[in-house]
């Protein structure tokens, strides 16, 4: 995914530079038509640049080039103004002054310009399915929305629990696949406990690490699997679902159980991914008991195997209802 987007961006930057050239030459023709002297001065400036480059290659220091350049540029600028153009009308055309629309900066170490980096990140987020949820990050995760009173029978508060879960899942997202539970994370608990927020925060961390990430509801995942099962199209989407490094599956259990096909497709998905060392991060409103009942022991034993999955059971009050 990343490579494909980068290829597209590189093509767009090339096209932008061609467009910049077209604009520049159109401007030059326009100015020259009104005032032929401008054209002659532009040629003289170009010739000065060439001769100084030739001079450097041949090893002799060209004379007073900066002064000559400055003089020519000054003449061009005043002629432009005299003829009703802005004085910078014939300066090189580009949108980004840092990279001049090449997309890269730095010499000798070339690195991606911030303008391209920003666009790459935006597209990666959009492609991953995380586009609208970019603000749900570990930096914007607020502990103070969770009650700090001890949960009966547990000995700690919801806030303390969330702090622990925040730190554990963040470390997992930063370190995967070098973690013990390298098959994934499953959040279980009632709605309004912050499961989806954390899922999106984890996806953001992993996306920023350059991993291939896909975020979608289990309802949507089911649609993709059914479409590929019952017809020949939809295979590309299924491949993504199977092969993306980390699959973020929100709200497992809300998709309709249409027939046995649904359950066996989910089994296939989890099984294939685990066999290929790909991780799943799952949220579900189902309790662990209901998860076993709905998806059979075969699936549950894969998702709840605590030697390979981090099983996060969340307790407490619905914070959306409190607000």
Tell me the two tokens of residue 206: 């992993």
The closest alpha carbon to 215, from 266, 280, 135, belongs to: 280
- Residue 12 CB, nearest distance to Zn ion (Å)? 12
- Residue 131 CB, nearest distance to Zn ion (Å)? 23
Please, which residue, 113 or 186, has the CB nearer to Zn ion?
Answer: 113
User: Which stretch, 10-18, 93-101, 130-138, 281-289, contacts Zn ion (CB under 5 A)?
Assistant: 93-101
Among 9, 115, 190, 304, which residue interacts with Zn ion (rule: CB under 5 A)?
115
Find the binding residues for Zn ion in span 225-264 (CB under 5 A): none
Distances 14 to 10, 24, 78, 98 between C-alpha atoms, Å: 6, 15, 32, 16
Residue with tokens 């690195």: 111
Tell me the two tokens of residue 316: 């407490």
User: Which stretch, 85-93, 109-117, 161-169, 264-272, contacts Zn ion (CB under 5 A)?
Assistant: 109-117
Number of residues that bind Zn ion (CB under 5 A): 5
User: Which stretch, 96-104, 147-155, 163-171, 193-201, contacts Zn ion (CB under 5 A)?
Assistant: 96-104
Q: Is 106 in the site for Zn ion (CB under 5 A)?
A: no
* Interface map 49-88 toward Zn ion (x if CB under 5 A): ----------------------------------------
Please, which residue, 114 or 322, has the CB nearer to Zn ion?
Answer: 114
Q: Is 96 in the site for Zn ion (CB under 5 A)?
A: yes
- Residue 73 CB, nearest distance to Zn ion (Å)? 24
Q: Is 221 in the site for Zn ion (CB under 5 A)?
A: no
Q: What is the DSSP string of 169-212?
A: HHHHHHHTTSSSSTTEEEEES-TTSSHHHHHHHHHHHHHHTT--
Alpha-carbon distance of 259 to 253, in angstroms, equals 14
**Per DSSP, what are the bridge partners of residue 309?**
184
Q: Is 113 in the site for Zn ion (CB under 5 A)?
A: yes
Helix-helix angle 2-34:114-128, to 10 degrees: 130
Q: Is 13 in the site for Zn ion (CB under 5 A)?
A: no
- Residue 115 CB, nearest distance to Zn ion (Å)? 3
- Residue 3 CB, nearest distance to Zn ion (Å)? 20
Please, which residue, 94 or 267, has the CB nearer to Zn ion?
Answer: 94
* Interface map 177-216 toward Zn ion (x if CB under 5 A): ----------------------------------------
Q: Which ranges of the chain does DSSP label H, i.e. alpha helix? A: 2-34, 36-58, 65-82, 114-128, 158-175, 195-208, 218-230, 235-243, 260-275, 288-303, 319-322
Tell me the two tokens of residue 65: 């080039």
C-beta atoms surrounding 98 within 10 Å: 13
Dmax of the chain from CA atoms? 89
Please, which residue, 96 or 240, has the CB nearer to Zn ion?
Answer: 96
| Secondary-structure breakdown of the chain: helix, strand, coil percentages, each rounded to the nearest 5 | 55, 10, 30
C-beta atoms surrounding 124 within 10 Å: 20
Please, which residue, 115 or 263, has the CB nearer to Zn ion?
Answer: 115
Among 31, 93, 99, 201, which residue interacts with Zn ion (rule: CB under 5 A)?
99
How far from each other are the two terminal CA atoms of the chain, in whole angstroms? 39
Q: Is 98 in the site for Zn ion (CB under 5 A)?
A: yes
CA 139 from chain centre, in angstroms, equals 17
| Residues of the shown chain interacting with Zn ion in the complex, contacts defined by CB under 5 A | 96, 98-99, 113, 115
């Amino acid at each position: 995914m990343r490579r494909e987007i980068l290829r597209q961006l590189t093509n767009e930057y090339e096209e932008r530079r061609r467009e910049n050239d077209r604009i520049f030459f159109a401007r030059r023709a326009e100015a020259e038509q009104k005032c032929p002297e401008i054209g002659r001065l532009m040629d003289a400036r170009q010739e000065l640049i060439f001769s100084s480059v030739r001079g450097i290659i041949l090893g002799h220091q060209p004379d007073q080039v900066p002064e000559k350049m400055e003089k020519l540029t000054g003449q061009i600028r005043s002629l432009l103004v005299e003829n009703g153009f802005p004085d910078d009308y014939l300066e090189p055309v580009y949108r980004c002054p840092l990279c001049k629309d090449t997309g890269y900066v730095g010499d000798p170490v070339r690195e991606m310009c911030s303008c391209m980096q920003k666009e790459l990140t935006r597209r990666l987020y959009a492609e991953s399915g995380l586009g609208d949820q970019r603000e749900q990050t570990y930096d914007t995760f607020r502990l103070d929305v969770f009650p700090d009173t001890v949960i009966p029978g547990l000995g700690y508060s919801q806030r303390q629990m969330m702090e622990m879960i925040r730190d554990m899942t963040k470390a997992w997202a930063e370190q995967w696949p070098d973690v013990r539970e390298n098959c994934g994370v499953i959040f279980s608990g009632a709605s309004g406990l912050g499961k989806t927020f954390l899922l999106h925060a984890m996806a953001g961390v992993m996306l920023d690490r350059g991993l291939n990430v896909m975020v979608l509801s289990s309802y949507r995942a089911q649609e993709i699997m059914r479409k590929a099962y019952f017809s020949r199209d939809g295979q590309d989407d299924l491949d993504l679902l199977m092969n993306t490094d980390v699959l973020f599956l929100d709200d497992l259990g809300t998709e309709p159980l249409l027939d046995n096909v649904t359950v066996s497709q989910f089994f296939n998905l989890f099984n294939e991914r685990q066999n290929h060392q790909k991780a799943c991060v799952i949220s579900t409103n189902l309790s662990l008991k209901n998860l076993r009942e709905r998806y059979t022991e075969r699936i549950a034993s894969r998702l709840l195997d605590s030697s390979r999955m981090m099983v996060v059971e969340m307790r407490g009050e619905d914070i959306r209802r409190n607000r």
